Structure 1
Amino acid sequence: MRIGENSAMQPTPASATLAASTDAGAALRIETQASLKPYNSFGLPALARTLVRIGSDADVRRLLAHPQLGLQPKFVLGGGSNLVLTHDLHEVVLKVEVMGRRLVAELDDAFIIEFGAGETWHEAVDWTLAQGWPGLENLALIPGTVGAAPVQNIGAYGLELKDRFESLDAVDLVTGRSVTLDAHACHFGYRDSVFKQPAADGGLAGKSLITRVRLRLPKPWIPVLGYLDLQKKMVDAANHHPDARQIFDWVCAIRRAKLPDPAVIGNAGSFFKNPVVSEAQCMDIIARDPHVVHYPMPDGQFKLAAGWLIDACGWKGKTIGGAGVYERQALVLVNRGGATGGEVVTLARAIQESVYGRFGIRLEPEPVLL
């Protein structure tokens, strides 16, 4: 599969204008001075000067044809679970609400499943299991939407989105053309993709809006059980051959024990990426602190546990203003009530400086800081 235009999705002519309704009788749903607090999992206060709800590819083209909004800068908002808002947004905020779930094809070696980008990721995982299509269970309970999953290349418990990815549809925010991208075109990396990379580097950050995502769930199903916490669950339950639903339940239990529910305590999940270092760097850190948690990588490098590094610097439970470090997991920053984006960023930078001062490693945030 390659990048290509979807011939069924043609761009709206540049000369077109938006009236109260479109040719199909549907109107753009436009809001002004919209609060973004309900739309970011940190619960941070911010306003969108203009917010447009996007339910289809056609909505994007209607927006691009709008005489006032079409040429203005735009910001794509999915589930807001990977976002730290530090100010009001003057860009036109595109709230992705494309829905839909379907089996595209059942092949000899896989089920191909398609979701609208606005579907909730965890509900999508649960739904696939209910249909008898396993393969996503290790990614249960990750907050956010399906459309945001490939942007971040989400991952947990031994599995990443790229391992189950087939293709996606996106709309160009300049031309309005619909394109299809395969895994190669998405340039997946560790918590990274072409959608996070700047245009100057050939990326699509700020240039495309994902509308649909297709996943490949392999047949026969093979469980992914190499993660230590899952191995402990197998031992505790005396069950060394769990089915997909059991793994799903275990993953949910593990995450709930470690991570706060964004509906209860505002947060964006893991705030920092686990740093990857050379063997020499890892051995140097081990020589100074033999308890550092580290994992060998296939390429000879080592991944260090960012949460352990932060905890070792004494940050667990600490606060700056309304922002704090979660008591059960130092990798998670939380909104203790009334926090601003500025306080979250101040806390994050203090942690970065502390870890760098002790270990010589610069932690990189996972969320987008605006």
Structure 2
Amino acid sequence: MNIQENISLKSFNTFGIDQKARFFSSAKTLEDLKAALTWAKSQNLEVLVLGGGSNILLTKDFPGLVLKVELKGIQVVSESEEEILVQVGAGEIWHEWVMYSISKGWAGLENLSLIPGTVGASPMQNIGAYGVEIQEVFQSLQALERNSLEIHSFDSKACKFGYRESVFKHELKDRYIITSVTFKLNKTPKFHIEYGAIKETLAEKGIQELSIKAVSEAVIQIRESKLPDPKKIGNAGSFFKNPTIPIAQYEKLKIQFPEIPGYPNEEGIKVPAGWLIEKAGWKGVRLGDIGVHEKQALVLVNYGNGIGKEIMDLSEKIQKSILEKFGIALNPEVNFI
């Protein structure tokens, strides 16, 4: 176990925020994880678990131990004629795992191409895009309980998945470290191309015969056209969740804003947060070194030397603005540290 002191976290978060960790360690094995947690406990230190750093906003230096999870490995657990179960280490890069699954002809993850972050973070957030969410391809996960250092298994029900939600963001927050995720993928594809511009993009590319590779390439093309590359402009992808409002409230807003988009779900009507932010005049707004992206209002950006507190303040101004204009409360998808 290698413990480093006073380490800049700039290269470990996609916003590119330059805050420091008092102590830093990376865990490549389960033993590394246990040793680091034991050491932190002996020093009475708070622990921040880091994956790809693609869903956090650092607003200050971290006074404890930042523990980067780098557990790797992809292993077929079982397979039938129709399905295959694959266990993947929490430290694997999400997009690389998606590309690997596509190269093997395993279907189910193609709509989730180019999402930043690691495999371990995917069930925590119940990540989703273009009509597909993790819970649809999820079988189980293994996680290390921080106090007992015991490994526990969680099935889909135990994870309590919701829209960008899981039990690990609420009741079990900061109690477990996910070490691996097992996915249930299909050998025969079930295509989801109705959402977003996938169908149009496939047509533009002249795709005659659907394949998971073609869908993945279409998703990548769409994401690259709308979302800034974190290596060039600091960002954490979608900053806010898409809010769901009661049908009655949506109908009322429809009178005032006839063009307001809405998508029915079990709780009511989901309204795109990006549309609300753009309609409120925030798209492309720049305040010094931070701002709202010019192509996608849902993305807050760091143009270079912005600090987390500035981005947090901007997000609060946007929330206040949306509440005043539409009566809708926006909730961040990004975790503030």
Following superposition, the deviation at residue 241 of structure 1 comes to: 4.2
Structure 2 vs 1, CA of residues 114 and 265 (structure 1 numbering), >3 Å: closer, same or farther?
same
Shift of 1:70: 5.8
Shifted more, 101-110 versus 318-327: the winner is: 101-110
In structure 2, do the counterparts of structure 1 residues 67 and 163 end up closer, same or farther at CA, with 3 Å as the change threshold? closer
Aligned match of 1:265 in 218, 224, 233? 233
Instruction: Measure the CA separation in 2 of the matches of 1:59 and 1:365.
Output: 32
Cα distance in 1, alignment partners of residues 179 and 25 from structure 2: 15
Tell me the alpha carbon deviations over residues 125-150 of structure 1, each in whole angstroms, 9 at most, x when there is no partner. 00111112121000000000011111
Matched residue SS, 2:167: coil
For 1:335, which of 277, 302, 306 is the aligned residue? 302
Q: 2:136 aligns with which of 155, 163, 172?
A: 163
Q: 2:110 matched to which residue of 1? A: 137
* In 1, Cα distance between equivalents of 2:233 and 2:274: 19
Give the gaps of 5 or more residues in structure 1. Answer: 1-27, 198-202
Query: 1:342 is aligned with what amino acid?
Result: K
Aligned residue number for residue 335 of structure 2? 368
Does residue 284 (structure 1) correspond to residue 252 (structure 2)? The answer is: yes
Q: Conserved in 2, the CA contact under 8 Å of 1:60 and 1:173?
A: no
How far did 1:110 drift? 1.1
Which amino acid is the alignment partner of residue 321 of structure 1? G
| Other-structure match for 1:215 | 183
- Paired residues of 1:69 and 1:92 also in contact (CA < 8 A): no
| Residue 96, structure 1, aligned to residue 69, structure 2 | yes
Describe the shift of the 1:206–1:239 C-alpha distance in structure 2 as closer, same or farther (beyond 3 A): same
User: Who wins on radius of gyration, i.e. which is larger?
Assistant: 1
**Is structure 2 residue 313 aligned with structure 1 residue 346?**
yes
1:113 maps to which of 66, 73, 86: 86
RMSD: 1.4
Q: What is the aligned partner in structure 2 of residue 192 from structure 1? A: 165
Q: Given the superposition, is the C-alpha separation of residues 153 and 70 from structure 1 closer, same or farther in structure 2, using an over 3 Å criterion?
A: farther
Cα deviations across residues 263-300 of structure 1 (Å, max 9, x unaligned)? 11100000000000111011011111011121111x26
TM-score by length of 2: 0.96
Structure 1: 4+ residue segments shifted above 3 A: 67-71, 237-241
Q: Which amino acid aligns with 1:272?
A: F
Q: After TM superposition, give the deviation of residue 64 of structure 1 in Å.
A: 3.6
Q: Whole-Å Cα distance in 2 between the matches of residues 241 and 301 of structure 1?
A: 36
Q: Which amino acid aligns with 1:74?
A: V
Unaligned runs of 5+ in 2: none
CA distance in 2, matches of 1:255, 1:55: 31
What residue in structure 2 maps to residue 313 of structure 1?
Answer: 280
Letter in 2 for 1:78: G
Q: Report which stretch shifted further, 284-293 or 66-75.
A: 66-75
- Which amino acid counterpart does residue 287 of structure 2 have in structure 1? I
Q: Does the CA contact (< 8 Å) of 2:107 and 2:190 recur in 1?
A: no
How many Å separate the matches in 1 of 2:286 and 2:18? Answer: 18
Secondary structure at the aligned position of 2:236 is classed as strand
